Amino acid sequence: MIRRLFVALSLTGVAVATVFVLRKSGGPEALFVIPLGNHLAALGAMVLEVLLRGTRFVVLGIVMGATVPIMRATMAQLAGDGGAAVTPMRSGSDPAKALILSRDGIRGGHIGALLVGEAVSEAILLPVCGAIMALALNVSLTEILGALLWSAMSLTLVGLAVRLAPSRDSSAPRLLQRLGVTGARWERVVRIAADFRQAASALRRMSWVYLLLLAVATVGHVGARLLTLPALAGSDVAAESLPELLGAGFFLLYGGALIPAPGGAGVIEAVFAEMLGDNLPREQLGALTFWWRFYTSHLFALLGWLVITIPTRRKSPQRTAPEG
């Protein structure tokens, strides 16, 4: 009950902040001041973004010998967006992705390796993207800080997950024994951990071709996310304020993931309006705040909840290539 109340209050904060920003720029009717062409461009950027995230799963699956269809990979990414939107610090993202991938028969250990490979590629390349923006567009270091903190947190969690994965001859920790994870349950955990270690070892031996594909998919999806705001604002505004638009998006999209409250509790909307109030037309500020959040968060969260809740036939676990 307390968790649901926390989520409800956080999402209410999102609605309140959005209404407040809209009132400052003309009221609800301001939502309709953005041309249709700008909407289509922003939607196209986000469709490309989620497809590239799905492609990253496909590439990682090929490396570890697991077949991950592009449609299932993309649905898993949408489910992750849905799970992230209603959990603190987006903590529900990976479990939601795992749920969808398991429906396609992908084994638990390989799902874990897919999630680890995704997190590591993102965490390594985000600082690279930030450095390029700082050097080429003079984006401030403050706007890059959120992504750097997110990368550091991701690598720390991945390191803990790899370190804590049990070996074949290990016994269940006392805490898990008290929770009933003994006998057959512990053996299942050990089998999943063995699959995880095998798949992770395959990722460590990835050839340069797959590394390149992984880098292209990762940098491409980051770029598509950042270009959503310039696409919405239009070419005239983007030409005058491109560094500010990209920098604010970079800061809020990745720094916002560190906010404990689900959905950011309205903080992201308020900071967006404060950071870009001098760079966007006043009559469009409320609309751009709403539609930017809609295309980068709310739309895919809605689609993700549909993916999670609509039942699909579960396939039997895949056979994967043996460790070479």
C-alpha 156/C-alpha 150 separation (Å) is 10
Q: Which residues contact 112 (CB under 8 A, 6 or more apart)?
A: 98, 161, 192, 195, 196, 199
Q: Within its chain, how far is the Cα of 129 from the centroid? A: 16
pLDDT for residue 147: 81
Tokens 């239009």 -> residue: 234
At 160, list the tokens.
């803990």
Per-residue pLDDT of 149-200, as tens digits, reads 888 888 888 777 777 666 666 666 655 555 565 666 666 666 777 667 777 7
User: How confident is the prediction along the chain (324 residues), in pLDDT tens digits per residue?
Assistant: 666 676 666 767 677 776 666 666 666 666 778 889 999 999 999 999 999 999 999 999 898 888 889 999 999 999 998 888 878 777 788 888 988 988 877 877 788 888 888 988 998 898 888 888 888 888 877 778 878 888 888 888 877 777 766 666 666 665 555 556 566 666 666 677 766 777 777 777 888 899 999 999 999 999 999 999 999 988 888 888 888 888 888 888 888 777 777 766 678 888 888 888 788 888 788 888 888 988 998 888 889 888 888 766 556 555 554 443
The one-letter amino acid at 43 = L
Dihedral over Cα of 70, 75, 79, 81: its sign: positive
Q: Within its chain, how far is the Cα of 26 from the centroid? A: 32
pLDDT for residue 323: 42
Helix intervals (H) in the chain? 2-24, 36-64, 70-85, 93-103, 108-137, 141-164, 174-178, 184-204, 208-233, 235-255, 267-276, 282-293, 299-309
C-alpha 260/C-alpha 166 separation (Å) is 29
pLDDT for residue 1: 64
Give the total residue count for the chain: 324
The pTM for the full model equals: 0.82
Task: Using CB atoms within 10 Å of the CB of residue 215, give its burial: 0 to 12 exposed, 13 to 18 middle, 19+ buried.
Answer: middle
